[in-house]
């Protein structure tokens, strides 16, 4: 027996290669990565909007995005997106139908240009925001749970 093993080793007989079968085809990057939006993750974005021009921040090429005119602004057109709390206090994220973003912070409503919206103040209580205008109109917004 030892003689046979020695003979096989001396002849240079290599062990048989293992057969490997792949059960699934490899996944490409396009198949594995489906972002929620089409923004390039390698391009720096602004806090209140991205480079698609949906906010009022400058976009590529120095153009300005859409800006809501004060005459068309209505607290009743806003939707509560989220409420967050950090060391600076509570903040509420609101948006309108056009996609413009507003932040309620410290009782003041701030637009995407970081300017306070004149005549609008608000209070955050739990998952509810109450907005008040100069002419005593009150709007209550509740956060809707995703179903």
Query: How many angstroms separate the first and last alpha carbons of the chain?
Result: 72
The predicted-structure confidence for 100-118, as pLDDT tens digits, reads as follows: 899 999 999 999 888 999 8
Do 104 and 96 touch, CB atoms closer than 8 A?
Answer: no
The predicted-structure confidence for 27-79, as pLDDT tens digits, reads as follows: 888 778 776 667 666 666 655 544 454 444 444 444 444 445 555 778 888 99
- pLDDT score at 41: 65
Q: Which helix (H) or strand (E) holds 91?
A: strand 89-95
- pLDDT score at 3: 67
- pLDDT score at 91: 93
pLDDT > 90: what percent of the chain?
24
Buried b (16+ CB within 10 A) or exposed e, 14-32: eeeeeeeeeeeeeeeeeee
Indicate the SS3 state at residue 37: coil
The predicted-structure confidence for 118-139, as pLDDT tens digits, reads as follows: 899 999 998 899 999 998 889 9
- pLDDT score at 12: 60
> In the chain, where are the structural domains located?
32-142
The predicted-structure confidence for 4-28, as pLDDT tens digits, reads as follows: 766 666 666 556 677 877 788 888 8
pLDDT band with cut points at 50, 70 and 90 for residue 99: confident
Q: Burial of 122 by CB count in 10 Å (0-12 exposed, 13-18 middle, 19+ buried)? A: buried
DSSP state of 99: -
**Which residues, in sequence order, are bridge partners of residue 105?**
91, 108
Contacts of 62 (CB under 8 A, 6+ apart): none
**Pairs from 141-145 (Cβ < 8 Å, separation ≥ 24):** 141/78, 141/79, 141/80, 141/94, 142/80, 143/80, 143/81, 143/82, 143/83, 144/80
């Amino acid at each position: 027996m030892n003689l046979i093993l020695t003979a096989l080793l001396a002849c240079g007989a290599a062990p048989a290669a293992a057969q490997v079968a792949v059960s699934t085809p490899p996944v490409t990057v396009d198949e594995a990565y489906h972002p929620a939006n089409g923004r390039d993750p390698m391009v720096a974005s602004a806090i209140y909007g991205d480079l698609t021009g949906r906010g009022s921040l400058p976009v590529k090429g120095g153009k300005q995005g859409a800006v809501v005119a004060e005459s068309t602004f209505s607290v009743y057109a806003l939707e509560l997106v989220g409420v967050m709390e950090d060391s600076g206090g509570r903040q509420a994220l609101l948006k309108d139908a056009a996609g413009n973003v507003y932040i309620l912070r410290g009782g003041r409503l701030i637009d995407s240009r970081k300017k306070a919206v004149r005549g609008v103040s608000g209070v955050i209580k739990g998952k509810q925001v109450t907005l008040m205008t100069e002419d005593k109109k009150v709007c209550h917004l509740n956060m809707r749970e995703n179903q």
